[in-house]
Amino acid sequence: MKTATFEITQEIEQMTRQFALQHIKPYVMEWDEAQHFPIDTFKAMGELGLLGVLVPEKYGGAGLGYFEYVAVIQEISKVCGSIGLSVAAHNSLCTNHILMFGTEEQKQKYLPRLAKGECVGAWGLTEPNTGSDAGNMQTVAVRNGDEWVLNGTKCWITHGITGEIAVVIARTGEPRAKDNSTAFIIERGTPGFKAGKKENKLGMRASETAEMIFDHCVISDSQRLGEVGEGFKQAMKILDGGRISIAALSLGIAKGAFEASVKYSKEREQFGKPISEFQGISFKLADMATEIAAAEMLIHQACGLKERGMPMTKEAAMAKYYASEVAVKVANDAVQVFGGYGYTKDFPVEKYYRDAKLCTIGEGTSEIQKIVIAREVLK
């Protein structure tokens, strides 16, 4: 992974912004209304290196760092949170899990296809009855010689239907026992692996969310990621980096809502002057700008630690917690700035409002982030 430079980050930011404005912005509401995951547009991002940002060049990736990765997620999310979410899940979860814990053979086999956008990645940890309580998961993998038999259902999975390569964490020990889960790579088309219900969501509607079902799904032991029993530990390390990406997603949504609010407040006139000149509006904009800047600093702090290979569990949790709550607050205030127009689908802020809420839930709720932060503070 290359060390970030300001110039590289700026170039990546500009390239991503141009792609988002040209290939995503014209279709945002169409995709949102239809809950359509634009797989062709998504795969086109692979050609630009946006689906393998952190993957080394020898595996077909861009070989960039976390500062560039945050820039990518942010710029896409300023235009559409749904596509930002899908890019984050593909990069941080599925692809990064194989990068961090795969064998050389697994990396050679899967990373080029994921990084180039030839395959869409999915990552399965959450289940219908085990969200934060992942140690009690009911998806079970039983060893049978050189094979494993998987049974169970994963839910709330980004790309649960279209994901061609999935990293799945299954229980291989007793419920809530120490080291009781193991990670596996499972390809779409494997007998016994099928897609289930697609969720009808409040926001992030163009990012596909669905069940993955395993019914006597037999896979080779060569598909196992790391040692038996290490699945949950691996997942926690993956989520550390994933929290930075959700923080970046939150930041992009917040910036998008803020920029729309500034523009509108200068154009909308009441009592003979722009509403930006009224203190009630200008103070909202001041709060938005300050909170966005603080969120960005927390994200950059976590990125810096991650790039230097230093512990960053607390900092990533802080960035994710604060940025996601800021996204919700800024989007809420943006609707208020727009007034009645903000409540319609003719203006962009109602979608930022709907999309933002997911950021406080996905990859660990705000409450879970507080637990993580408190645990680190009290060590």
Residue 363: active-site member: yes
CA dihedral defined by 289, 263, 260, 271, rounded to 10 degrees? 90
* Pairing mode, strands 121-124 and 165-171: parallel
Secondary structure (3-state) at 329: helix
Active-site residue identified among 68, 127, 325, 363: 363
Torsion angle defined by CA atoms of residues 295, 300, 301 and 304, in that order, rounded to the nearest 10 degrees: 170
Question: By the 8 A CB rule, do 235 and 183 touch?
Answer: yes
Q: Which amino acid is at 356?
A: A
* Cα–Cα dist 287/290, whole Å: 5
Using CA atoms of 104, 108, 114, 116 in order, give the dihedral in degrees to the nearest 10. Answer: 140
The structure tokens listed for 42 are: 């998504």
**SS3 category, 279:** helix
d(CA 219, CA 150): 8
Backbone angles phi, psi at 236, to 5 degrees: -65, -35
Residues annotated as catalytic are 363
